[in-house]
Structure 1
Amino acid sequence: MANETGDAQPAGTSAPPAKLPKGMVLGKDGKPCRACNEKATFSAWASQAKTLKAPLKAGAVPAAAAAAAGAVAMAPPPTDCPPDKDELGRSTWTLLHSIAATYPTAPTSNEQSEIKAFMGLFAKLYPCWFCADDFQRYMKKETVRAASRDEFGNWLCNAHNEVNKKLGKPIFDCAKWEERWRTGWKDGRCD
């Protein structure tokens, strides 16, 4: 699942001939996956690919060389582009925690089946194949618990913390999941 540089890569694919930025995750088609990579990594690859395809005009400096020389300032990313893995992740966790916050306190057996089925499909359809595979493995190890809002909210919080650990991010206190995602903070800043 990793190429010779340790980058995530789907089984059965080989790295493209062009050198990829460190950490570049390839899609199942063997091409760089926008949803699996940080914006900076994907942009570095796209810039490199454009530079390799386009002939230089007289006096032009390649973007990579200009950036290395400090000649190009980083512009804020446009807001109307496909999401990178960070934006996709933040949006996904917001959606999932919001679903947990509105999940019934005493769900019917049908509602419990539906949320478990949803999480199973979600884990299969997530745009980043590497993240999807990882979440499917997590769900095999820690099956979805959904007998109540609190149980599902805590299960989801623990799942989120597992991802945070892998990414070196802070761990969230799951005792506060409902305050964070449902009722708002006790200090009133969400009112």
Structure 2
Amino acid sequence: MAADTREHQQPNELPKGVVIGKDGKPCRSCTSKRDFSSWAQMTKSSLKSGAGSTGAATGAVVGASTAAAAASTFSQTPTTDDCPADVETLGRSTWTLLHSIAATYPKTPSVSQQSDLKTFMGVFSRLYPCWVCAEDFQRYMEKDHIQVGSRDEFGKWLCEAHNAVNVKLGKNTFDCSKWEERWRTGWKDGRCD
């Protein structure tokens, strides 16, 4: 009996925004939930119709009608919070964790604490689930070395790193002079009290 190869089939083209992992398959951690869902719908459709390819996808953009059909299918699907994190959820959660670490980092850390933070950030950047994001952050840390001499120094360095990512994504940047108010003490207007 021949082996079932359907699970390895992919459409020849991928929706815009789908990132291929190092294993040659779409990377859920590197792709938004919407784009991953579009790809999944396309894959299901191609399997039902018998279409598809056994070759690796190259990241080409899908035609407008296919993308629109996939998007409309996605919009009809209820969203759930118990699915694996997409690149956006992962990013928001990661920045929350890192900024919270900065907010609780000592004002005057010991040599050991400084070493621990440098080690953590280095390992973290290598283990991050989105390989594209991980490599980008590693390059950032090579160019702008991590600053761990104090809470304020690390908090501002991290804020600038976050802003660098926001610029690449076309998002607004944050006033890094207010990082501690945003992540440690709460806003002066009392809305966090």
TM-score range (shorter-chain normalised) is 0.7 to 0.9
The C-alpha deviation readout for 1:154-173, integer Å capped at 9, x for no partner, is 00000000000000000000
Q: Tell me if the contact between 1:34 and 1:85 (Cα under 8 Å) persists in the aligned partners.
A: yes
**Cα 1:118/1:66, change in 2 over 3 Å:** closer
Q: Tell me if the contact between 1:66 and 1:72 (Cα under 8 Å) persists in the aligned partners.
A: no
Q: CA deviation at 1:185?
A: 0.3
Task: For 1:36-185, list aligned pairs within 5 A.
Answer: 36-55=30-49, 67=69, 73-185=75-187
TM-score between the two structures when normalised by the length of structure 2:
0.82
Q: Tell me if the contact between 2:11 and 2:42 (Cα under 8 Å) persists in the aligned partners.
A: no
The one-letter amino acid of 1:147's match is: G
Q: Residue 190 of structure 1 aligns with which residue? A: 192
SS at match of 2:76: coil
Count of paired positions: 169
Q: CA deviation at 1:73?
A: 4.6
SS at match of 1:54: helix
The C-alpha deviation readout for 1:14-44, integer Å capped at 9, x for no partner, is xx66211112211110100000011111000
The one-letter amino acid of 1:124's match is: R
Are residue 32 (structure 1) and residue 34 (structure 2) matched?
A: no
Q: Which has the higher contact order (CA 8 A, sep 6+)?
A: 2
Runs of 5+ in structure 1 lacking a partner? 1-15, 57-63
TM-score between the two structures when normalised by the length of structure 1:
0.83
Distance in 2 (alpha carbons) for counterparts of 1:164 and 1:186: 25
Distance in 1 (alpha carbons) for counterparts of 2:67 and 2:37: 15
Distance in 1 (alpha carbons) for counterparts of 2:112 and 2:71: 60
Q: Percent identity?
A: 63
RMSD of the TM alignment (CA)?
A: 2.1
Q: CA deviation at 1:52?
A: 1.1
Structure richer in helix, relative to its length: 2
Distance in 2 (alpha carbons) for counterparts of 1:69 and 1:36: 18
Runs of 5+ in structure 2 lacking a partner? 1-9, 51-65
